[in-house]
Structure 1
Amino acid sequence: MSRLLCTLLLGLLALNVSAQSLTASVDRTRLDAGESVELTLESDDATLFGKPDLLPLNDLFEVLGTRQVNRLTTGSNGAQASTRWIVTLQPKHSGYVVIPPLSLGQLQSAPITLHVQQGNSAADSRLAPVFIDASLDQESVYVQAQTVLTLRIYHSVSLYDDSSLTPLDMPQARVEALGEPRTYEKDINGVRHGVIELRYAIFPQESGELLIPAQAFTATAVDRSSSNAYNPFGPRPGKVVRVRSPEIPLTVKAKPASYPADAPWLPAQALTLSEVWSPQPEDARVGDSLTRSLLLEVQGLASAQLPPLPATQVSGLRRYPDQPQLTNQASDNGLIGSREEREALVANREGLIVLPAVEVLWWNTKTDQLERSSLPARDLQVAANPALDTLPVEAERPDSIAISTSALWPWQLSTGLLSLTTLLGFTLWWRARRQPAVTPNQQTGPSPRNLLDDLKRSCLANDSQATRHALDAWARQQPETLADMAARFTPLSEALDGLNGALYSESGQHWQGRNLWLAIRSLPAVEDLEGSANIDTSALPPLYPR
């Protein structure tokens, strides 16, 4: 018994240890020689005390400072405590430097690789208390292509929090900020400087020479030599510092003459085109909705610059597109724009349907040549839908039984009907002379007026599902099918397309039923209709025309 209890305790202890973790992360993985980086170690084990062992860092890094932050968060699993250790490091060597695994009790973090680049000696020679360094990642770009402007503000003195920077105003270019400003430290000729780094993606809109304007940085430097005591309600002891960044010329090249004139201009560093289906196209059936998502992801362009993808216009498929989703993501190489287009495809016939290939032309700014990214053509083998083929036709046409019965014994029925109608005619004529009015027969089931009122209420309430059921019930009492009515009246056909789009597309909640109701009210009457005996009782339900 004691051995079993010890085994259970050891298992619970091992499970608790495995549930805890020591995660390591840095604020950036690329930095220049002499700059500092912040390493964050986090543990969610509240039973651990002390701090991580930082001795493995001494060989490759100089530890500039360490601080501890304790947090308590409340979620669905109750209160949860975590501890963070923020360590400021400065690499001792350039190149690829690895932060080794660090230990805290029985927990150990994963290694992290840093890329330390050799610093610019010309920039390091400036030893002013506050100065700005501005640089572009390339000196010439194509029109509408991306160039990245990096702005670094160095200060060797303490600054108050009232600093400001003029906005980057360029009417001839589109400017996108790449993330939030980053702060770190850098050692320049033995003097430690604080650094504020800002990055912008610039897209020139005109070819020729473009001048990146200077930006002014204003701040109040702390004056520690002042003999006056600090008054929190009085002026801050210090002096106002104002510095300007250098102006940078940029050469903007025109679109190459070899680029196709009818294709949208897409100068990018990389481009990917992909598609996702839900459900899989191999399971396509008549009347079922297939959702196709096309994703265009471009490195070096904003999402607003990406053109629409070719629409799926194929005979045998109805297309109901959604609004495109545009997103931007900042990376070390600039902006990554993406455009996602989703559409619902509904097959209205069975058999083979071929979707054409999707191709996007773009200019590779790295290799300086034309590229083609495409998705291959796809064959859709649409199967019959048993749910549509087995629909009860008798429920839609109550008079079909009478029609079938009348076709069995034509001569017996015709003789009987002739006798009955003759006798009934004389009887009604005799009674009409004696009675002032004829009592109407009681109608079983909903009247055409009630069905029309139900259809009106559901249309004006913009309820696509209720409108579909009310439309089916109303159409069953009409002398022709809904497909025939739509074929001879264009407004009704367009309104039915809108209703189908609401039923199959994800944007169905925005459907407006007023147009459908107006089309129903404006539907012209059928001339010279010879009764309901000629109605095609083999037609499919109104919302699935063949």
Structure 2
Amino acid sequence: MQSMRLTLKRPKIKLSMIKFLALFLLLVSNTVSAKLTQTIDRTDISAGETFVLDIQIDGETNVQPDLSLIPSSFTIVSNSQYQHTQIVNGSRSAIKGWKIKLKTLQTGKVTIPSITVGNESTKPIVLTIKDSSDQLDLNGQSKAIFLEAEVDQEDAYVQQQIIYTISLYRSVNTHYASLTEPTAENSIVEKLGDDVQFEKMINNRRYIVTKRKYAIFPQQSGNLLISPVSFTADVNDNSQRRRSVFLNSTRPVSITTKPINLAVKPKPASASNPWLPAQNVILADKWTPTTNELKVGEPVTWTLLMTVQGLSESQLPELSLPTIDGLQLYPDTPQKERQIDGKGIMGQRIEKYAVIPSKEGTITIPEIKLNWWDTVNNVQKTAILPSKTFNVLAGEAITKEPQPVDLPPIGVDSDLTTPVNDKALKQWQMISAGLLALWLLTLIAYFNKKSGVPKNSAKTKKAQDKIVGESQKENLRLARKAINNGDLVELEKTIINLVKSLGYSNIHSIGSLSNQVSNQELIDKLNSLEAGLYSATQKNHSIVLENKDLDLLINEISGQRSSKGSESIPPLYPR
């Protein structure tokens, strides 16, 4: 008969809150470095129990870890090696590791020292090993299989995390094993990672222990009843009465834990909203690129990270950001993640914003605060993200106004007080009269030219305008096509090209273009287009800009160029 055991997966490496934050800052700064780490698969360890030390290094190496550094108080039960290699976008990466199963009879605080692999070294790990007699009492009897359930606290607040642990002890082989799931009324129950397996000696009998953990979040105050959990399996029956010559006889076994009752307390009256009962809360941020200087119209990315120990990612609220004069914020879709460690669930919420300065000067982003309830010390606390000040510089100049020329002050020159002879005065008057006559003749010729332009000259002017006019018409056609197709990227590209063909060669973004427009409705539509360009859900962002708005934009830009003395712009559709 084919046997079946509980499926036990290799435990994952767990990150503490501090390690996760360090990893977050490492990732957003785009730096990569090889490193050597060591972790253990669990922290709740009793004397005589086995646990797994996982040593891992980035990259490939033929060097083995120096296990002679492990103190003699630890026994190395087994040692295995693994390696993972992957190729992503042509880039090859590798991870090599060693899993060392250890056990110790020493109790109290013990240290696994720094382990070296070549020139790299790990950080030491400090453990607290409990007395095995404090963990289990079989009344001097050695049962073949038994099951235990426990919680990490006797009472909790509403929506607070409760860790529920099931421990299955087996000293015999089992077949067709099955373990039921716990249930709790008016609560959310979530399994925490993979099962953990280790060995333990009880009354000189060797047991394989399987631990399975759950996070329970009660949703209302009052009494909480956690239902019993049952384990069923078949075990070999070695009695003479049931023994068969051809088959190994088995018999079914079934064991059940006791139900657990908890008192769930309501939210304290002194607690503020949002209600966040947690063990720890940390706020962090990152600016990309990293700088203390911004430029008007040039976007930067602001990433905010909220990390909460003891709550799931779905329980984390959106951060409340103040209105900042001189900055436009365009939010991206928030990301929600989680990590599992020895303390349960650690939820993370990552918010990203495209930040575009709209004016020069010094701009300060005030500190961001988030109130939460410390379930360890039973008091309200506040997580704070410090304020940050930027110096905003002018963006690229769109048009350059003529610089004023310093002229000498008008006054009475001392030389003019000297007498002027009559001959010189008459010569000056004749020259002035001649210049006036010449100016009148030029003016008459100009008006004659306006009233009747020669045919050949008109054709030359039309040929010159045709080049610029055709470019404008093509960009306008493509912009209208992009509006009809809902293509944000193509619309931005064609609008910028259209404006450049109108003489604004230094406009490179929709943000810098909106600063040149005076019509508020048109400004709002351009800002909406820019917000869509910086959104992760770009395909779902509707375009509010219409074909008539393109004509309005052309008229505004052309009018500004004409008022500043620029050459006239040929019409898009010459008549």
* Amino acid corresponding to residue 253 of structure 2 in structure 1: V
Per-residue CA distance 1:364-404 (angstroms, 9 max, x = gap): 1112111122223333221122x2356799xxxxxxxxxxx
Q: Distance in 2 between matches of 1:176 and 1:52?
A: 39
Q: Distance in 1 between matches of 2:560 and 2:93?
A: 74
1:90 corresponds, among 103, 110, 126, to: 103
Q: Distance in 2 between matches of 1:390 and 1:534?
A: 9
Q: Please tell me whether residue 311 in structure 1 is matched to residue 321 in structure 2.
A: yes
2:448 match: secondary structure: helix
* Amino acid corresponding to residue 155 of structure 2 in structure 1: S
Partner of 1:31: 45
CA shift at 1:487, angstroms?
A: 5.1
* Amino acid corresponding to residue 280 of structure 2 in structure 1: A
Q: Distance in 1 between matches of 2:442 and 2:541?
A: 50
**Structure 1 residues 62 and 230: alpha-carbon distance in aligned structure 2, compared to 1, 3 A threshold:** farther
**Residues 186-335 of structure 1 mapped to structure 2, 5 A cutoff:** 186-224=200-238, 227-228=243-244, 237-260=249-272, 263-335=273-345
**Structure 1 residues 109 and 289: alpha-carbon distance in aligned structure 2, compared to 1, 3 A threshold:** closer
Per-residue CA distance 1:312-360 (angstroms, 9 max, x = gap): 4212111111111211111112211111211111111101223222111
2:180 corresponds, among 161, 166, 179, to: 166
1:415 match: secondary structure: helix
2:474 match: secondary structure: helix
2:478 match: secondary structure: helix
1:228 match: secondary structure: coil
**Structure 1 residues 287 and 213: alpha-carbon distance in aligned structure 2, compared to 1, 3 A threshold:** same
The answer to whether the Cα contact below 8 Å between 2:52 and 2:101 also exists between their aligned partners in 1 is: yes
Q: Distance in 1 between matches of 2:560 and 2:135?
A: 96
1:368 corresponds, among 361, 378, 395, to: 378
Q: Distance in 1 between matches of 2:330 and 2:162?
A: 38
Partner of 1:498: 528
1:170 match: secondary structure: coil
The answer to whether the Cα contact below 8 Å between 2:374 and 2:380 also exists between their aligned partners in 1 is: yes
Partner of 1:450: 474
Q: Distance in 2 between matches of 1:469 and 1:105?
A: 53
Q: Distance in 1 between matches of 2:401 and 2:282?
A: 49
Q: Distance in 1 between matches of 2:119 and 2:367?
A: 56
**Structure 1 residues 325 and 100: alpha-carbon distance in aligned structure 2, compared to 1, 3 A threshold:** closer
CA shift at 1:479, angstroms?
A: 13
Per-residue CA distance 1:264-286 (angstroms, 9 max, x = gap): 01111111112222223421111
* Amino acid corresponding to residue 329 of structure 1 in structure 2: Q
**Structure 1 residues 109 and 205: alpha-carbon distance in aligned structure 2, compared to 1, 3 A threshold:** closer
**Structure 1 residues 377 and 410: alpha-carbon distance in aligned structure 2, compared to 1, 3 A threshold:** farther
**Residues 475-486 of structure 1 mapped to structure 2, 5 A cutoff:** 475=499, 483=514
**Structure 1 residues 444 and 513: alpha-carbon distance in aligned structure 2, compared to 1, 3 A threshold:** farther
Partner of 2:411: none
The two structures have a TM-score, normalised by structure 2, of 0.69
CA shift at 1:25, angstroms?
A: 5.5
**Structure 1 residues 299 and 452: alpha-carbon distance in aligned structure 2, compared to 1, 3 A threshold:** same
**Residues 51-130 of structure 1 mapped to structure 2, 5 A cutoff:** 60-61=73-74, 65-66=77-78, 88-99=101-112, 113-119=126-132, 120=134, 123-125=137-139, 127-130=142-145
**Structure 1 residues 354 and 106: alpha-carbon distance in aligned structure 2, compared to 1, 3 A threshold:** closer
Per-residue CA distance 1:246-301 (angstroms, 9 max, x = gap): 111111111111123xx201111111112222223421111122222221111111
Q: Distance in 1 between matches of 2:336 and 2:161?
A: 18
**Structure 1 residues 52 and 290: alpha-carbon distance in aligned structure 2, compared to 1, 3 A threshold:** closer
Per-residue CA distance 1:477-516 (angstroms, 9 max, x = gap): 88999759965473x444312332345x363854757433
Partner of 1:142: 157
**Residues 338-349 of structure 1 mapped to structure 2, 5 A cutoff:** 338-349=348-359
1:284 match: secondary structure: strand
Q: Please tell me whether residue 470 in structure 1 is matched to residue 494 in structure 2.
A: yes
Partner of 1:419: 448
Q: Distance in 1 between matches of 2:346 and 2:148?
A: 25
Partner of 2:148: 133
1:388 match: secondary structure: coil
Partner of 2:547: 520
**Structure 1 residues 99 and 536: alpha-carbon distance in aligned structure 2, compared to 1, 3 A threshold:** same
* Amino acid corresponding to residue 205 of structure 2 in structure 1: V
The answer to whether the Cα contact below 8 Å between 1:217 and 1:242 also exists between their aligned partners in 2 is: yes
Q: Distance in 1 between matches of 2:452 and 2:82?
A: 101
1:156 corresponds, among 171, 175, 184, to: 171
CA shift at 1:454, angstroms?
A: 1.6
Q: Distance in 1 between matches of 2:156 and 2:349?
A: 23
The two structures have a TM-score, normalised by structure 1, of 0.72
CA shift at 1:535, angstroms?
A: 4.0
Q: Distance in 1 between matches of 2:119 and 2:333?
A: 51
CA shift at 1:137, angstroms?
A: 0.8
**Structure 1 residues 498 and 361: alpha-carbon distance in aligned structure 2, compared to 1, 3 A threshold:** same
The answer to whether the Cα contact below 8 Å between 1:61 and 1:90 also exists between their aligned partners in 2 is: yes
The answer to whether the Cα contact below 8 Å between 2:41 and 2:53 also exists between their aligned partners in 1 is: yes
Partner of 1:406: none
Specify every segment of 5 or more residues in structure 1 that has no aligned partner in the other structure, as ranges. 1-20, 394-408, 429-437, 540-546
CA shift at 1:458, angstroms?
A: 3.8
The answer to whether the Cα contact below 8 Å between 2:279 and 2:308 also exists between their aligned partners in 1 is: yes
**Structure 1 residues 83 and 230: alpha-carbon distance in aligned structure 2, compared to 1, 3 A threshold:** farther
**Structure 1 residues 177 and 537: alpha-carbon distance in aligned structure 2, compared to 1, 3 A threshold:** farther
**Structure 1 residues 230 and 381: alpha-carbon distance in aligned structure 2, compared to 1, 3 A threshold:** farther
The answer to whether the Cα contact below 8 Å between 1:60 and 1:97 also exists between their aligned partners in 2 is: no
What is the root-mean-square deviation of aligned Cα atoms in Å? 4.6
Per-residue CA distance 1:417-437 (angstroms, 9 max, x = gap): 43234456xx99xxxxxxxxx
The answer to whether the Cα contact below 8 Å between 2:304 and 2:350 also exists between their aligned partners in 1 is: yes
Q: Distance in 2 between matches of 1:55 and 1:483?
A: 66
2:182 match: secondary structure: coil
The answer to whether the Cα contact below 8 Å between 2:171 and 2:206 also exists between their aligned partners in 1 is: yes
The answer to whether the Cα contact below 8 Å between 1:284 and 1:380 also exists between their aligned partners in 2 is: yes
Q: Distance in 2 between matches of 1:305 and 1:323?
A: 16
Specify every segment of 5 or more residues in structure 2 that has no aligned partner in the other structure, as ranges. 1-34, 403-437, 505-511, 567-575
* Amino acid corresponding to residue 258 of structure 2 in structure 1: P
Partner of 1:6: none
**Structure 1 residues 238 and 536: alpha-carbon distance in aligned structure 2, compared to 1, 3 A threshold:** farther
The share of aligned pairs that are identical, in percent, is: 27
The answer to whether the Cα contact below 8 Å between 1:296 and 1:338 also exists between their aligned partners in 2 is: yes
2:189 match: secondary structure: strand
The answer to whether the Cα contact below 8 Å between 1:354 and 1:378 also exists between their aligned partners in 2 is: yes
**Structure 1 residues 227 and 274: alpha-carbon distance in aligned structure 2, compared to 1, 3 A threshold:** same
CA shift at 1:303, angstroms?
A: 1.4
